[in-house]
Structure formats: structure tokens, C-alpha cells
A and B are shown apart, each in its own frame.
Chain A
Amino acid sequence: MEDIEAIVVLQDPIRRQLYEYVVAQDHEVSRNEASEGAGIGRTLAAFHLDKLVDAGLLATESRRLTGRSGPGAGRPAKLYRRSGAEHHVSVPARDYRTAADLLAEVADGARLDVELRAAAWREGRAARVAAGPIEDLDAVRAVLSGRGYEPRTEAGGTVLRLVNCPFHVLSERHPALICGMNLALLEGLLEDTEGLRARLDPQPGMCCVTVESSKNNDD
């Protein structure tokens, strides 16, 4: 029942706005920043941020922010980031994760990498057809947002770093297989998009793929 309670907490539009702001940042977020980001008062923001923590959606830590001055300087600030927990609700109950893990276990052991990549590429290609024209990084970002990757623009708008791995648990248990699958899916999705490519660029805590524009800023 914990999962459904966590999700119900997000039904409140202010909380959802705060949550989405916090998880979109590349750093831990203070109450002040969150309240400004969501366009609401600091007291209200603090109240709802702590509701999100209670629900297990955000995690918090207290740290002294350097360079602060004025009232409150020296007091540790409460900083918020996304919690590592996953929440699923399915009515009626379904357990695709166990099935996926078993299938991945067998595919990994049998080294079905090439076959899985081919299937993933076709999946990406089908999504590409459904999405309509993808001509620039903004269009890619919209499509990848819809698939849960949480893309973040970096390097002056030439790189999309994918902050969330939609296959997180599987990618930790079968990285070679699943990250290869993920890359192939995104390659299929970006097929025929001029000047854009998906590339394996794994970094701890993020999706293993980035999308980059091969056009330089100084073109």
C-alpha cells in the first residue's frame, strides 16, 4: 500500500510541480530554490517538500551552504533530491519486472545481445514513425521525455544527457545486455535524423546513452 500512497501524494498540483522541479535539477535543491522554481511561497514549499519526503519520493539531507550571508547564515540548509526508491501501482496486480528479469537472465546467459538489439532497434524505429518529424534536439527531448528518460540539455545545447534510465533495475542486473538494448532502441528512434546520434556514454547514476548533435556551435 506504500506505493499507492506515494503516488497519491503527487496528485496535488503544487507537490507535483515541486517534485518535477527538484528531479529536473542536476544538484540538490534548497527550499528557497524549490519555492522560486515552483513559483510559490517558501513556507508552502517547505510544507509540501516535507510531504514528498514523508512519502518516500524525495530524500533530504542537511548541509551548510557555503558563501551564504545574512540571516540564517551558518545554519545548515535542508537540501532535497529524488529518492532512490521506485513506486509502482498496478490494478489489478501485475508483475512484469520478475518476468522481464527472468527473460533477461536467460537472454544474457545465451548471449542473445545481437537479437535483442535488432528487436530494440525495430521498437525505436516504430516509435520514430509514430512520433512524426524529429528535426532537432528539442524534438528528441520531447519524445524522450515521453518515454521517461528525463533528458537534460548540456554542453551549450548540443548534448542531451538522459538523467533517468527507464530500465534501471534490469540495467543494473544485466548491464551489457540491457544497455546495449537501450542504445539500439535510441538508435532506431534517431534513424534518419540528420546531425543527431545516440552514443553510449555511461556515467554512474545516469542512463548509459547520450544524444548529441554533430553540428558544432560555431557552424
Chain B
Amino acid sequence: MAGHHLAQLNVGTLRHPLDDPRTHGFTSMLDTLNDVADRSPGFVWRLVGDGSNDATAIQTSLGADVIVNMSVWESRDSLWDYVYRSGHLDVLRRRAEWFELPRTAFQVMWWIPAGHVPTVEEAVERLQHLRAHGPSPSAFGFRDTYTPEDAGLGVVTTDGHDQGPDRRLSATG
């Protein structure tokens, strides 16, 4: 897909612990949802914890009660169709049962060179960037339509690596 993929991170603050019966409705759907994601057109990769099939055990600097979900897709549309036009929509519909009201951006996406596997730290940085500066080509949301070119990707150097966003000026002229 033109050498670029879309990475996304979304986070949620649990109202109750993961093993609390009140969170069971959410946890009981995880395997099915992840299975749907894995089989969705355009799915590339998702984060899983060691010895696990999901990312619920992964801790970040965002806090102990914040769970993360992170994945890579071939395009914005393939991600959108999974998030909003698959069985995943039912979890979103019931989000208020399990998650606190987000007071700030809880989802971020950004373009990566195809083949790059983003780290959680990198993803959290992107989210913090979005929270601090608003949408930009290097950290944005579904409402935004930035392209890999906007992010300064698209110029592949001789060693096969794209030039990153922080080299945008030199990449675009």
C-alpha cells in the first residue's frame, strides 16, 4: 500500500478493575474482537502482551488503570471499517459501562513506513503530542485527513528507510 501504514493507539481508563465482574462484559468480548480484527481487510499488526492474546496487561506511563490498544492498518478506511462497521461497534456503543469519560484525546493515529513495528512508548508520545498541540500530520484523529506525504513520509532514502516527520522540511523542500 504505497509503502505506508497507519498506526493507531487508543486508551481507556477503566471504571473498575479488569477482573471485576462489572468489567466482564468488556473482557468477555476481547477474544472475539481481536479475532475479527485479525481477519479484517487491511489489518497489519496489533500489540499483544507477553503470553497473551491482547494488550490489556501492558502498562504505560499513562497510569495503572489505563489500558491500551494499538494496531497497524493498511489505510484509514480499513481501520474505520473495523472500528465502526464490525462487531467492534457494539463495544463502543457500551463504552460508558466500562470506561471513564475521557477528558482529553484518547485516540491517536499516525503514518509509519510499511514494515515498521511501533513501540508503546512511541505511541504514547504521539498521543501526548496530540493532546498538547492538537491534530497535526504526525498525530491526528479520524476527523483529520492527513496523508503520509503531509507527515513528511514518502521520500525513501537509499538505505530503504523513509525520512521521518522531524526531517519533513528537508524532505519536502
Contact = CB atoms under 8 A, between A and B. Distances in A.
B95 interface: yes
Nearest to B91: A176
Contacts of A198: none
A110 interface: yes
A203 interface: yes
Q: Describe B's contact surface by its main secondary structure.
A: helix
A175 B89 contact: yes
B89 A110 contact: no
Contacts of B38: none
A114 interface: yes
Interface string B72-91: 00000000010111110110
Contacts of B87: 202
B101 A111 contact: yes
B95 A175 contact: no
B26 to A, nearest CB: 14
Nearest to B41: A204
A40 to B, nearest CB: 36
Nearest to B84: A175
A200 interface: yes
Contacts of B90: 200
A113 B95 contact: yes
B133 interface: no
A181 B112 CA distance: 35
Given A110-B101, A111-B101, A180 B93 contact: yes
A162 interface: no
B96 interface: yes
Given A110-B101, A111-B101, A202 B86 contact: yes
Contacts of B62: none
A204 B85 contact: yes
Interface in B92-146: 92-96, 101, 143
A111 B96 contact: yes
Nearest to B86: A202
A49 interface: no
Given A175-B84, A202-B84, A114 B96 contact: yes
A137 interface: no
B96 A179 contact: no
Given A110-B101, A202-B86, A176 B81 contact: no
Interface in A155-190: 173, 175-176, 179-180, 183
Contact of A208 (B83, B85, B95): B85
B77 to A, nearest CB: 9
A110 B103 CA distance: 9
Contacts of A114: 96
A189 B97 CA distance: 24
A175 B90 CA distance: 10
A72 B81 CA distance: 38
A113 B93 contact: yes
A176 B93 contact: yes
Contacts of A183: 93
A200 B81 contact: no
Contact of A111 (B86, B89, B95, B143): B95
A68 B51 CA distance: 55
14 contacts: A111-B96, A113-B96, A175-B83, A176-B84, A179-B89, A183-B93, A200-B90, A200-B93, A202-B85, A202-B86, A202-B89, A203-B85, A204-B81, A204-B85
Given A173-B143, A208-B85, 11 more contacts: A110-B101, A111-B95, A111-B96, A114-B96, A175-B83, A175-B92, A176-B84, A176-B89, A179-B89, A180-B93, A204-B85
